[in-house]
Structure 1
């Protein structure tokens, strides 16, 4: 039986209200102990659990006790024996519930029962304790990883990576639970508390709503509640650092890790566990793809799907997982980043089908291999499943396979927030229909994302409640469930980021989790409850803000007017709530997260007269040595800088003559440092015009020099000029800026060779609000990204015979660089 569509637990709320009214009208009519839980702040009931309760039962009892106390001030004792004359709330299975004939054996995936009788209420689920199988990792430690891998080697007779080496991440010592524990009883307790008005919209106390209730009657109820989706998993980016309050929030949302469906290891990129050990790379290089004349064994390694030995090893690995860990499903998908690869091997390249477009380029190649693995495993383990992703360049179904192996489960990777675009929505539905025709198992899982709070992406109020509801309604009866990948700050470092990672995303996640249980709930009713409960006096103002955000977030990276409208609506909401109140603090979290939009609006409002751009690569992606370890000597050496993203400088104005000496630059990023390499060819090195050797001397601009002008997402603009003697002239040119009183903090070195002079600059990115913290130092602004780019120009001034030859990356049409409208976009990922 599903919860009725008019909200969670309406029957209980109705009964509670009737009983409270009756109690107030006739104080003696409900005074018997068997009809009341709390009366006027005094306990009339106790929480009864088993002598040997499951882990989740103990946590559920604590949860019930804590929130009844928060609501009413009454603390219900937790006991194992009933006390005569007191109402009993049976939490979890015990001999008491067995005597009442309440069974939970058929309840799966966190489903639960709620039943009542004279003087008692039962809240219970299966509550199966997860028991890890050895060998598994207890902590994040190299020695521990080596230990569990060595134990795994004894079992497999091979050198695979033990997928259980990071199992410790799934245990939460502060709660004493595994994420794989069945949470049926906990779900029943929280459904009861939701019926009394408790809500957990976001993690932590700031995210919860707890009403004050002096009297709580014992309800009459008899329900079995099962979810529409068995697999309900949230996966946080920084799981390895711990997830803090989010662990308890996940439970209160009614999630289910789903190990009984998909197993305990990660459900993506499972092939890496076959090939990532150094012992495997050294022993069997033929299992790795040939690229640029070498076998690609860096990092996790890139598999060669044409290798017979790779096929043999992966089948062996999957069978070992089934035989030893007794997994119901194991992921066999490729390593991350496989899409978009090329190879020196003509036979490998011949497998690709670029004519199908990006999403189908590798479909036949990848799924041909995966299907062969699945078929071979099915011969020995027909009762188990293997899974793989529809992802990247192998998102579309293969054309050369009519029917996939009967043991193959599909994990469809999508971005639900993109479904505001009807064309993308229809495209993904069509692909799903095609996949299901090829999928005899019918086992389908969706994979979604909530990653808009990443530092390089944060700012827009991305809300898509209607897409969530529409999509999940379609998936009911089709999908086993869903994993949502979520950006989260590392635990204990949240404050250093300056914003709450779930300030906006919590709403999308809350609605998603509630709809997992019943997709037929009215999403607008859930939203109405959210606005009223969460924002109090600012409810209507926040409804207007969220409604605008849902309709316009997708345009806020390009439309200054939409950003302005959103910020104005949020300002009205802030004004409607006491800043010190919980609603005021919640709105403040959203405002903090949206700060980058204020600067972006200013950027977008500026008239741009060029679409020129430069994409910054991370130094680790250039194929050269990492620049962070290079001695800073000014020599733009290709061994370190590579030969990627080399951009030339051209004449400033169309009427200027072609420059006699060419110049070029490269920009790369390493963490929070921009590396800028500039090469100025010069056949007449003896006559370099060096007008000063002193820093911050304006005479520097009279001679040979290079100038970098930078407008960040929060500051317009800075100038850094360098001459062949290594002198630096830097100033803040922003209105109200510090002029020459500002220092970029750049490390600069100049190299002078026989036919060129070159510059290496390391420019620290201080971060947002650097100007507020210390306006005299550093580049203010977060690193340049695609959503929040910087803008820049870079030029060279060469002086000979009293004349200046000026070149730039972005021609200005004037005799100098100082034309912000002509600044090119600088961005990266």
Structure 2
């Protein structure tokens, strides 16, 4: 029996549940029943009892007593499996993992489910890491009761995300419910694979409020240690000295100990010794952690080439051998290594099954080995896979190809097939979709369609990106809808959303429905042919629609009482949209203009402009603007410009709170990729009629790169030459809380004859890498349009004016 959540919720708001045989939990704010749980109950059942007591108190103000002996004079709420529950003929052994029963009549309320041995399973072993909900069958019964009968909702982590209708009397109708979550595994990410020495292959991070919310929102499932996937080829790095033949052969004849795959290296999969070594790792893992069900055998991330030895190369189609990965078509890339990788996984699984017949070998189905291997009729029975997909980033056609591939995989597998999706858009870019931190992204209907397919193909799903819930206002809706649908794919997503708008936003329901529906329409636009971040953002978040988002939030705030939960929820969402506000501010930002100050005495070029040079002191400065991330990331960068008849003088002060962390990898003149260091970058276009741009980069170590870009002979594409020598004089100073650059650039090197009234087109940038957590931050003197990807964007150059006599 499934109660209709909307109708029961409405009855609760009216203060009535019509039922003549109600079991009364609380009457007029006083507890009428006790919670019984067996003294030897599992942790998962104890968690369920605590959750029931907590929310009964939130609803009614009454605190239920939890007892381990049956009271003689009080009605009893039986929580969890026990001898007394079994005597009633209510068992859990026949239930699936996380299956549960709810039985209520006038004499009793039974909340029981099939629980795992733990309430939460660590997201990783060792170090500081959060935990994830595990097999919580009894808690599922409690959550179902609180939701369906008492109208509680958990839309977002933390108390602000809860909807808890107040009632002084709490009674349950006659109920007899047997149910279970549809997908057996519903994790927020795949657990990083622990090494047998206790160290980690991967990290997991999320907020303290998030972990209990995940359980309440429907995430969990699977026995303890049920699924562990990670990129584990790096495990064999210990053999680099004793068995170099285990490692992939590179084109230059070296072995790939730490060259590719983010410097984690790659293996030679055709070598029988590599198979044996990986099987030994699995044996060691299961001996160290006998309760774990699986061991991961997965290539290291970003495996874009394989071993160059002949036996390995023979696994690639003849017409593709030797071709650089970048020259392969997308379809060729996605399947190019399938037979090669999965043959290796199968061989390892076969060996491991001899000693551990009840254990699984699990592996990512990922990137260029995502397609079904054609040379394998059936995978070993102890192989499980996790199929990686990306809902937000995939067009409808691409999704249909993904689903067809998953169905084909199902025919090859006897073991489990899990799906994994990536809700990572607020903290990383993907393809031509930039990082969308600060932008509203809602995909509830796409999630519903996806789960409808998964329920017939998969054994579970893991959502990579729970750390995205550190921005709960913008991210909670996708996680909430996903959790509810993975538990019950038959849920009507439109009914779910309509209830959400009313319950969560109150008087602002219509505005927030329009807000999230606008988001869903926007990010549903096909950007598969987009050529840049800017093009994607123009399709998904045009300026007029961004203004509409803020208008809807303002209108919603006006409708809700100040200080109310509804008002605070709207304020939270708006507070997380800093980047969207910056986007709007810069969409039509004017180009920068600066007047150069004439000097009769040239300033000293010694890197100490801000300390005591009287020439520099008298010159006004101009502050830079952050290109992405908003003003919160725009730590001070200040430029001064001066001139005489011999040189153009530029001074830049770069404020820095992490001077010891300055990145200065490039140490030689004209070193490649110097612009990836902490540096200042100067573009100059002395003649706007010519497509020549002088380019100077100086990093915080005082190393110079200078060159010239030209489009005059290439039909618009820029060619670059480092043959040009700026003849500049420059100096970098490193101080307690900043580093400075001073330059004197001769007019002669720019082919300029200075004259009054002259203008030079220019832009100047700072790349900041020193901050330990924010990552590279770029600021500019003349702001680029939002998400412009090239610093050499002449249309956004500012102008330096030389109004006075030289």
TM-score normalised per structure 2: 0.70
Q: Per-residue CA shift, 1:584-627, capped at 9, x if unaligned?
A: 1111222122221222234445699xxxxx99xxxxxxxxxxx9
Question: Which of 447, 452, 463 is 2:442 aligned to?
Answer: 463
3-state DSSP of counterpart to 1:82: coil
8 Å CA contact 1:121–1:219 kept in 2: the answer is no
Whole-Å separation in 2 of the counterparts to 1:335 and 1:70: 48
Whole-Å separation in 2 of the counterparts to 1:448 and 1:813: 38
8 Å CA contact 2:130–2:206 kept in 1: the answer is no
Q: Per-residue CA shift, 1:482-531, capped at 9, x if unaligned?
A: 00011527xxxxxxxxx952222211111111111211111111111111
Question: Which of 451, 454, 457 is 1:472 aligned to?
Answer: 451
8 Å CA contact 1:633–1:750 kept in 2: the answer is no
What is the 5 A alignment of 1:716-731?
724-726=729-731
Aligned to 2:72: 84
Whole-Å separation in 2 of the counterparts to 1:535 and 1:675: 53
Distance change (3 Å), C-alpha of 1:15 and 1:199: closer
3-state DSSP of counterpart to 2:472: coil
8 Å CA contact 1:418–1:425 kept in 2: the answer is no
Aligned to 1:590: 573
Distance change (3 Å), C-alpha of 1:367 and 1:606: farther
3-state DSSP of counterpart to 1:68: helix
64-73 or 645-654, which deviates more: 645-654
Whole-Å separation in 1 of the counterparts to 2:280 and 2:335: 29
Question: Which of 189, 201, 204 is 2:142 aligned to?
Answer: 189
Whole-Å separation in 2 of the counterparts to 1:320 and 1:45: 50
The answer to whether structure 1 residue 247 and structure 2 residue 221 are counterparts is no
Whole-Å separation in 1 of the counterparts to 2:280 and 2:220: 30
Following superposition, the deviation at residue 471 of structure 1 comes to 1.2
Following superposition, the deviation at residue 40 of structure 1 comes to 1.4
Whole-Å separation in 1 of the counterparts to 2:466 and 2:156: 14
Whole-Å separation in 1 of the counterparts to 2:346 and 2:697: 47
Aligned to 1:513: 483
480-489 or 316-325, which deviates more: 316-325
Following superposition, the deviation at residue 184 of structure 1 comes to 1.1
Following superposition, the deviation at residue 434 of structure 1 comes to 2.9
3-state DSSP of counterpart to 2:215: helix
Whole-Å separation in 2 of the counterparts to 1:791 and 1:127: 51
Aligned to 2:257: 297
Distance change (3 Å), C-alpha of 1:130 and 1:167: farther
Distance change (3 Å), C-alpha of 1:666 and 1:479: farther
Distance change (3 Å), C-alpha of 1:282 and 1:634: closer
Following superposition, the deviation at residue 230 of structure 1 comes to 0.5
366-375 or 56-65, which deviates more: 366-375
Aligned to 1:691: none
Q: Per-residue CA shift, 1:648-702, capped at 9, x if unaligned?
A: 989765865989xx866598xxxxxx999642479xxxxxxxxxxxxxxxxxxxx
8 Å CA contact 2:101–2:177 kept in 1: the answer is yes
8 Å CA contact 2:12–2:151 kept in 1: the answer is no
The answer to whether structure 1 residue 216 and structure 2 residue 170 are counterparts is yes
Aligned to 2:87: 99
Following superposition, the deviation at residue 389 of structure 1 comes to 1.6
Distance change (3 Å), C-alpha of 1:334 and 1:813: closer
The answer to whether structure 1 residue 568 and structure 2 residue 561 are counterparts is no
8 Å CA contact 2:23–2:104 kept in 1: the answer is no
Aligned to 1:330: 295
Aligned to 2:635: none
Aligned to 1:75: 63
Instruction: Give unpaired runs (5+ residues) of structure 2.
Output: 193-201, 321-327, 429-434, 526-535, 592-626, 629-659, 709-723, 751-763, 802-806
Aligned to 1:496: none
What is the 5 A alignment of 1:594-673?
594-605=577-588, 636=669, 638=671, 641=674, 656=690, 665=697
3-state DSSP of counterpart to 2:420: strand
Aligned to 2:362: 387
Distance change (3 Å), C-alpha of 1:467 and 1:193: same
The answer to whether structure 1 residue 319 and structure 2 residue 283 are counterparts is yes
Whole-Å separation in 2 of the counterparts to 1:168 and 1:746: 35
8 Å CA contact 2:34–2:66 kept in 1: the answer is yes
Question: Which of 427, 434, 445 is 1:454 aligned to?
Answer: 427
Q: Per-residue CA shift, 1:774-808, capped at 9, x if unaligned?
A: xxxx97699x99x9636775xxxxxxxxxxxxxxx
Following superposition, the deviation at residue 539 of structure 1 comes to 0.9
Aligned to 1:413: 388
Q: Per-residue CA shift, 1:74-131, capped at 9, x if unaligned?
A: 1221122333342211111223213322211122321111112442101011333249
The answer to whether structure 1 residue 280 and structure 2 residue 242 are counterparts is no
Q: Per-residue CA shift, 1:427-472, capped at 9, x if unaligned?
A: 21222233233x1316311101211221743022111111111111
Whole-Å separation in 1 of the counterparts to 2:54 and 2:345: 49
Distance change (3 Å), C-alpha of 1:406 and 1:676: farther
Following superposition, the deviation at residue 761 of structure 1 comes to 9.5
Aligned to 1:501: 471
Following superposition, the deviation at residue 551 of structure 1 comes to 0.6
Following superposition, the deviation at residue 258 of structure 1 comes to 2.1
Whole-Å separation in 2 of the counterparts to 1:370 and 1:210: 49
8 Å CA contact 1:653–1:815 kept in 2: the answer is no
Give the aligned length: 651
The answer to whether structure 1 residue 309 and structure 2 residue 282 are counterparts is no
8 Å CA contact 1:635–1:750 kept in 2: the answer is no
3-state DSSP of counterpart to 1:463: coil
8 Å CA contact 2:452–2:489 kept in 1: the answer is yes
The answer to whether structure 1 residue 426 and structure 2 residue 414 are counterparts is no
Question: Which of 737, 741, 745 is 1:748 aligned to?
Answer: 741
Q: Per-residue CA shift, 1:273-305, capped at 9, x if unaligned?
A: x324xx433333332234455433335443232
Q: Per-residue CA shift, 1:35-64, capped at 9, x if unaligned?
A: 421111121111111122221222221211
Following superposition, the deviation at residue 813 of structure 1 comes to 12
Aligned to 2:154: 200
8 Å CA contact 2:97–2:115 kept in 1: the answer is no
3-state DSSP of counterpart to 1:282: coil
Whole-Å separation in 2 of the counterparts to 1:440 and 1:397: 10
The answer to whether structure 1 residue 481 and structure 2 residue 435 are counterparts is no
Distance change (3 Å), C-alpha of 1:664 and 1:401: farther
Aligned to 1:492: none
Aligned to 2:705: 679
What is the 5 A alignment of 1:487-566?
487-488=466-467, 500-553=470-523, 557-558=537-538, 559-566=542-549
Aligned to 1:38: 26
Aligned to 2:717: none
The answer to whether structure 1 residue 269 and structure 2 residue 231 are counterparts is yes
Distance change (3 Å), C-alpha of 1:119 and 1:516: same
Following superposition, the deviation at residue 383 of structure 1 comes to 4.1
TM-score normalised per structure 1: 0.68
3-state DSSP of counterpart to 1:488: helix
8 Å CA contact 2:663–2:770 kept in 1: the answer is no
3-state DSSP of counterpart to 1:166: coil
